[in-house]
Amino acid sequence: MKWWYFLLIALSIGLFPTYLLRPLSSTSEYVAPMNAMDPEELLRQNVYTVLHNLGDSAPPHVVNDSSATYASKQRGRDLFFKGMTIGPDGSTTPVQSKMFKCWACHNTVREDPDLRKHDPEARLQYAKEHGIPLLPATTVYGIVNRQSFYNGDWSKKYGPDIVAKVRHNLRQAIQLCAIGCAQGRPLKDWEIESILMFFWDLQYKMADLDWTADELEFVHRALQRPHDQAMRDSAIHLIKSKYAPFSPATFNPPPADRKAGYGLQGRPEVGRDVYRMSCLHCHKNGRFAYLYLDEDPFSLKLLRKHFPRYSRYSAYQVICWGTEPLPGKRFYMPQYTKQRMSPQQIEDLRAYLEQQAQP
């Protein structure tokens, strides 16, 4: 036998213990000893990690090796942004949806300045400063920190039976959205798991929450007292009070009298932002729709003219109720809930169109 043969065997035996020592489940990535941390360091931690260290129970959508072998967050990211990835057999998966990619409707970054609130006014300001679009669905940033999904009025759209299945099950929520919202094929288990891993990458950090020095110090101390469960519980409670545990959804009916509108004074400058940051995200160059919209006079006139009408081009109609897809086959426009676009912003849009489309 050649000498290097021995070397190889020796190396493999030598390296075997490191294989045994590898993290056994990916959740371990989120669990780190925290009692020796200073508050500064604490701010860099994931919210979930801190909660976990304080003894909070793990949510059902934690990912671990047993849930799917082939999943990875990179594949999840691919699915989210490109609608396809490399499958277990080494070839490209069929595209999830030919209509939409997840990012047509969901942001992947923070979009609310105050994570406790779902205030469309504050969001518009924040989104403008950060150059992100205003979309009909909620951001997936921090989605793993939420405890319930498809809340409020979504059960009216998808039916109480379906929503009951997904309400406390993020995996099922992803699947429902892939089929029901993105109008595509069902995701395989490993694909759902991959998207989930990608979502775990976008979980809240302690620094995302709004802390006073005292509060942070309190959490810090609670972490150092493994036996004071009462203190730990109030720390958990404190952390969870810093962000909304779900995104509420209230459908927003169009005004009864569409000519009169919601009876609010529209602000044209804000309306322009609404138009650019929401409508053009999908309609510019027909990116996610058949209707091409831009800032040219034809587009603006069309929308202005139909705004108060009962027609397919009425912005009241499409914003408040969306448009209907043919089952599984077609582009459709998702509706905006009150939490995603306020009546005031709809009036702002109208004011902008009226100002721009003056003959």
Partner 1 sequence: MKGLHILLVVAFYLPARSQEIVYQTFKHGRIVTTQSTETLKTWDWDFYVMHRFGDLVGPNGGTTNTFGLANAADVIIGFRYGLNDNLEVGLSRNKGGSPLALDKNFNLHLKYRMLRQKHRGTPLSLSVFSLTSFSTAQRSLNPASLKYFAKFIHRFTYHFQIMAARKFSHRFSLQLGAGYTHRNIAYSGESNGIASALFGMRLQLSKIYGIVADAAFPFASHIRLFDTHQPYLGIALEIETGGGHIFNISLTNARGTIETDFIPYTIERIDQGEFRLGFTLSRYMRF
By the 10 Å C-beta count (0-12 exposed, 13-18 middle, 19+ buried), 153 is classed as middle
Residue 251: name its binding partner from partner 1, ligand HEC, none (Cβ under 5 to 8 Å by kind): none
Find the helix or strand (DSSP H, E) in which 352 lies: helix 343-356
Q: Tell me the window of 5-13, 142-150, 219-227, 259-267 that interacts with ligand HEC (CB under 6 A).
A: 142-150
CB of 82 to partner 1, least distance (A): 13
> 186 by DSSP, 3-state: which?
coil
What is the residue type of 342? S
From candidates 9, 10, 65, 98, binder to partner 1 by CB under 8 A: 98
In whole angstroms, how far apart are CA 196 and each of 47, 78, 190, 328? Answer: 17, 12, 10, 24
List the x/- string, 58-97, binding to ligand HEC by CB under 6 A.
Answer: --------------------------------------x-
In whole angstroms, how far apart are CA 153 and each of 247, 251, 335, 336? Answer: 11, 6, 12, 12
Q: Tell me the window of 36-44, 109-117, 258-266, 288-296 that interacts with ligand HEC (CB under 6 A).
A: 288-296
Q: Which of residues 282-341 bind partner 1 (CB under 8 A)?
A: 285-286, 290-292, 294, 296-299, 301-302, 312-313, 323, 329-331
List the x/- string, 235-274, binding to partner 1 by CB under 8 A.
Answer: ----------------------------------------
CB of 52 to ligand HEC, least distance (A): 21
Reading the block at residue 314, the tokens are 């009425």
List Cβ neighbours of 106 (8 Å cut-off, separation of 6 or more).
Answer: 135, 137, 138, 139, 140
Reading the block at residue 81, the tokens are 């942004």
Rg of the chain over all Cα atoms, to the nearest angstrom: 24
Query: Which positions lie near ligand HEC, rule CB under 6 A?
Result: 96, 100, 102, 104-106, 135-138, 143, 146, 149-150, 154, 170, 173-174, 177-178, 181-182, 195, 247, 249, 278-279, 281-283, 288-291, 303, 312-313, 315, 318-319, 323, 331-334
